[in-house]
Structure 1
Amino acid sequence: MNIMHSALRRLDLNLLPVFDAVFRHQSVSQAADELSMSTSALSHALSRLRAALNDPLFHREGHRMSPSVYACQLAPAIAAALTSLNQNLSPKAAFDPAASDDCLQIAITDYTAFSVLPALINELQHTAPNLRFELRYLSHSPALNELLKGEVDLALGFKFSDETEHPELDTIDWFEDRYVVISNTRRTQLTLKDYLAARHLVVTPWNEKQGVIDLQLERLGYTRQVTIRTQSMLSAPFIVAQSDLLMTIPQYAAVRLRQAADITLFELPFSVPPYMTRIYSHRRSGKKAASDWLKQVLKGLAAKNQS
């Protein structure tokens, strides 16, 4: 037999504010005024509550309604429950980006953070300076389950050609880019033969066995020799700069990494579909006001990227 909330099922919860008001005011008339009820209606409600709880709850002493021992025991729990419900069920205040110190959880990879966060933080330092972020590196993509369970508020990922659109998720196509190859500065050319003969460093943020490049090579009947697989992009360009390894990455990242490491950029010597950074969010986010506002900012920045 299901006995969950059996005490609540036999009680009209609308009677609890009546109990709370009478206990605080120790007056039927003052409690009725607070609840915008007539004294007769409040007295009737109090009678129902006495019957449901099998206790007199209050007795009159002069002009006061004095609580029973049982009422004194109930009062703190009822007051706390009503306060909690009122706070949690009240309409959310309008989001004020200039004043908000909300903390949003964002699932990222090095690549996606590299392409989205610099522009975003540059924008927010003026419009939402106190908004905070916790960046989470997940072991898989897309972060569908985490978004659906409310564990992350946004996820930055890649758009896959066979990706299934989920009805609960909103997506923003943030940034489209093409792939290029980086190498040490000693290399002067890069043909397909050179590419296939070389050793490669591959960043695999989710420890995937095959990425876009290897899948495309496989379709063309080729394979490449992967010497290093790593989840982090931080050391990758410096390894390439001091070795004969090649690395295939989006051009946006390559151009900026060239400022930090002594590397050269080459055109990819075979055709690969463009790289797309995508931003995912849940349509019923737990931080809906902040998430909705941030999505509008991101959409505006995405439009600038694509113009």
Structure 2
Amino acid sequence: MRFNHLDLNLLVALDVLLEEQNITRAAERLHMTQSATSGVLGRLRTFFEDELLVQVGRKMQPTPYALELAKPVREVLLTIRSSITTKQVFDPASSKRNFKLMASDYLITVLFSQVIQKIHDQAPNITFDMIAPSDADLLVRGEIDLMIVPERYIIAGHPSQLLFEEDYVCVVWQGNTLVGDHLSLEQYMDLGHISVGLGRTRHLSIEDWFMNQYGFNRRLEVITHDFNTLPQLVIGTQRVATMHRRLALLYAQYLPLRILPAPVHIPPLREFMLWHRSMDGDPMHRWLRERIQEFIARVDAAKPSIAKRDTFHPK
């Protein structure tokens, strides 16, 4: 199909070329040979009267005009996908939709493992790709359908909805001889801690917050890469892990753990569901969001509580 003498299929190739900035990788994604992909780039250069990608050493870099084209090209493709190629009548029982969801291992464990199970009963042919938190631009580029993130990671210009609030508790091994059924601030600071380092930069989950609010750092003895290993790493040690309540309660059913109120006041974590604005009216996408919200509402209604006492607040 052509529009103003432009083969619209070339826009798909242009989008991939501008993202990969590499002929070989772009060819793999487009399921084309390198020579054919180079030919497509030549046709694009002719139409736009611009080099679009230029070789600089061993890398290709987009021209200024190519950088201007990147966003509108992606927006056009997303609009076509959501409003033209997507069926507006959604039958869960027969749909073969694939959803790409970005969420932490904590959320997969306490939320999506059960949501997917429930969805299978109504839509057995729907499939899921669970993607670890990484580049939020994946949502901006429309490469994922949904992401669940803390409030600070909300992306302006795209719809979002509060899913739930989560507080933090302290977890120790049942055999920990340094802690009884109550954890004081002094004990908390004397214990060795286990924390999570997230992403490529190994950003520690709540260390910055501790320093900013209380002016002290915890004594970190173990840093792991995901939330699910936190409760496992306290077993057989005198260490403590500060972690999400839902995850702690889940693991306490299977491991010899004690769950204690945190001796410091940690504001609750607010988890938001985000999606690309082009998906806002997609009936299949909306159906999935509603199923997630329904599940959270049922879980929250039955959530057990842990008493909060002797909690230290900064002056």
Q: Deviations over 1:107-155 (max 9, x none)?
A: 1111121232134124212211221100111335xx2x11111111011
SS in 1 for 2:96: coil
2:246 to 252, 275, 280: 252
CA change 1:90–1:253 in 2 (3 A) is closer
Are 1:155 and 2:147 matched, yes or no?
yes
Partner of 2:164: 175
Deviation at 1:209, TM superposition (A): 3.2
Q: Which amino acid aligns with 1:8?
A: H
Are 1:199 and 2:192 matched, yes or no?
yes
Please give the alpha-carbon distance, in whole angstroms, between the structure 1 residues aligned to 2:256 and 2:113: 22
Please give the alpha-carbon distance, in whole angstroms, between the structure 2 residues aligned to 1:209 and 1:122: 32
Deviates more, 1:233-242 or 1:219-228: 233-242
2:227 to 233, 251, 254: 233
Partner of 1:109: 104
SS in 2 for 1:247: strand
Q: Which amino acid aligns with 1:180?
A: V
Deviation at 1:102, TM superposition (A): 1.1
* 8 Å contact kept, 1:158–1:276: yes
Q: Which amino acid aligns with 1:133?
A: F
Q: Please tell me the root mean square deviation across aligned C-alpha atoms, in Å.
A: 2.8
* 8 Å contact kept, 1:115–1:175: no
Q: Which amino acid aligns with 1:283?
A: R
Normalised to the residue count of structure 1, the TM-score between the two structures is 0.64
* 8 Å contact kept, 1:200–1:246: yes
How do 1:1-307 residues align onto structure 2 when only pairs under 5 Å count? 8=5, 89=84, 92-140=87-135, 143=136, 145-160=137-152, 166-167=156-157, 169-186=158-175, 187-188=179-180, 189-206=182-199, 207-212=201-206, 214-285=208-279, 288-307=282-301
* 8 Å contact kept, 2:154–2:160: no
Is there any run of 5+ residues in structure 1 with no aligned partner, and where? 10-84
Is there any run of 5+ residues in structure 2 with no aligned partner, and where? 7-79, 302-315
Deviates more, 1:180-189 or 1:293-302: 293-302
CA change 1:213–1:269 in 2 (3 A) is farther
Please give the alpha-carbon distance, in whole angstroms, between the structure 2 residues aligned to 1:289 and 1:6: 29
Deviation at 1:257, TM superposition (A): 0.9
Please give the alpha-carbon distance, in whole angstroms, between the structure 2 residues aligned to 1:244 and 1:279: 36
* 8 Å contact kept, 1:173–1:302: no
Please give the alpha-carbon distance, in whole angstroms, between the structure 1 residues aligned to 2:155 and 2:3: 42
Partner of 1:37: none
Deviation at 1:210, TM superposition (A): 4.0
Please give the alpha-carbon distance, in whole angstroms, between the structure 1 residues aligned to 2:174 and 2:252: 11
Deviation at 1:93, TM superposition (A): 4.5
Identity score, percent: 21
Q: Deviations over 1:155-207 (max 9, x none)?
A: 121223xx56512x222211212100101112313111111111111123324
Count, aligned residues: 220
Please give the alpha-carbon distance, in whole angstroms, between the structure 2 residues aligned to 1:91 and 1:176: 33
